[in-house]
Structure 1
Amino acid sequence: MPSYLTDILGFDLGHAGLLCVFPYLALLVSTLLFARFFDYLQREKGWEVSRVRRVAMYVAYLGSGAGLVVCCFVQEKYTAYGFMVLAQV
């Protein structure tokens, strides 16, 4: 990721090192939130475990894929970085 931020998006190396932390922080927070949400669907709404797992995988794959595709077509570097962070969620 640091080479993408420096070579493609044009961030300097110091900022790229700092910016590499935020996608993983977003991943940590979103993992905890989505885990609670899917646990709620299973316990309170009566969803089967296989259904919860399928929906979670669809959300994970489609969300990250869409975020990375949009990231390729955005011209502004901060917007592209924002979509990269959202793709990690």
Structure 2
Amino acid sequence: MSASPETPAQPSMAAASAGRPAEGGLVLALCVLTLALVVLVIGAGLLYVAMRHPSLTGPLSVATGGVALIVALTGVLLPLFSAARR
């Protein structure tokens, strides 16, 4: 008596991804959340230093402007690169 091996039913890709994000999307979302929290903590630290030492307000505002420019450029370029990858 020969029994044929049973293969489990494989759900289609559309059915498997319906209702839950892809694993890569979840990792990206967690990385963005972590980055936002780190930037918030660093910003709070810089605000504290600027309030405790007013003479550092000028140099810190220049540094904060530079970091803000880098974050803004990243926010513009990241969607462009992710759209080009699809």
Structure-1-length-normalised TM-score: 0.42
Structure-2-length-normalised TM-score: 0.43
